[in-house]
Each structure stands twice: as C-alpha cells, then as structure tokens.
Amino acid sequence: MTQEELLREIEILKLQAVVVFTANAPHRTGVLKRAIRVEPATEGYGFRIVLDIYYAVYTEEVWLSPQWRGRRNPNEAWFRKAFEYVLKYIESRLGVQFAKG
C-alpha cells in the first residue's frame, strides 16, 4: 500500500467511525450526535474520536439512583460498543490486529 493509498484509506476510516458513533449515540435532542467529531492524532496517521459534551459520560453509566426504580440505562456502554465495532472495522480494512489490554 502506497502512502497515498494509506491516507485515502484513513480518510474512509474516519468517516466510517463518525457514522458508527453517530448511529449509536443517544439522541434525545441530537446535541450529543452533532458533537461527535474526528481529530488527527498528534503523531503518525491515526485519529481521535472527540465527544466533548459535558454530560456525555453520564449517558454511558449504570443507573444507580432510586428514581430509576431498578431500570437499566438503555444507553449503557454505547460509546464502548461503538469503539469496539470501529476497532474491528479498522482491523478488517487494514488487515491488522490491535493488541488487547
């Protein structure tokens, strides 16, 4: 794979990552979905998924408050699941395997 092909492939991966995270994000108002973006990594060819809405961490958490009366958070672990999906997608597109842990 040439450097030009690699850069093109990375652009495709960035777009696909945003699609996956946006599709999996909770969407009561749409603010969270619209806040998802990709930034280039500080080194190399990588990229970061950025979600800098202050309440984003709470959309992932287990509901512990009595107000929920034992119900489960339907969005629990959405970010982790989207991340794992994107990671598998990148592995299959590039023919690599990332170390776990």
Residue 17: CB atoms within 10 A of its CB come to 22
C-alpha–C-alpha distance, residues 85 and 3, integer Å: 25
**Residue 17 covered by a domain:** yes
**Residue 59 covered by a domain:** no
Give the range of the structural domain holding residue 85, as residue numbers without chain letter.
3-52+78-93
- pTM score of the predicted model: 0.86
**Residue 41 covered by a domain:** yes
pLDDT digits (tens, 9 = 90+) for 2-19: 889 989 999 999 999 999
pLDDT digits (tens, 9 = 90+) for 16-52: 999 999 999 998 889 999 999 999 998 888 899 999 9
How much is the pLDDT for 18?
Answer: 96
Identify the residue whose tokens are 């777009």. 15
**Residue 86 covered by a domain:** yes
**Residue 98 covered by a domain:** no
pLDDT digits (tens, 9 = 90+) for 65-78: 888 888 888 999 99
**Residue 43 covered by a domain:** yes
In this structure, which amino acid lies at residue 7?
L
Higher pLDDT, residue 80 or 101: 80
Q: For residue 36, which of 26, 24, 51, 54 has the smallest C-alpha distance?
A: 51
**Residue 58 covered by a domain:** no
* Contact by Cβ (8 Å): 3, 10: no
How much is the pLDDT for 23?
Answer: 95
- Report the number of distinct structural domains present in the chain: 1
Residue 101 pLDDT exceeds 80: no
**Residue 66 covered by a domain:** no
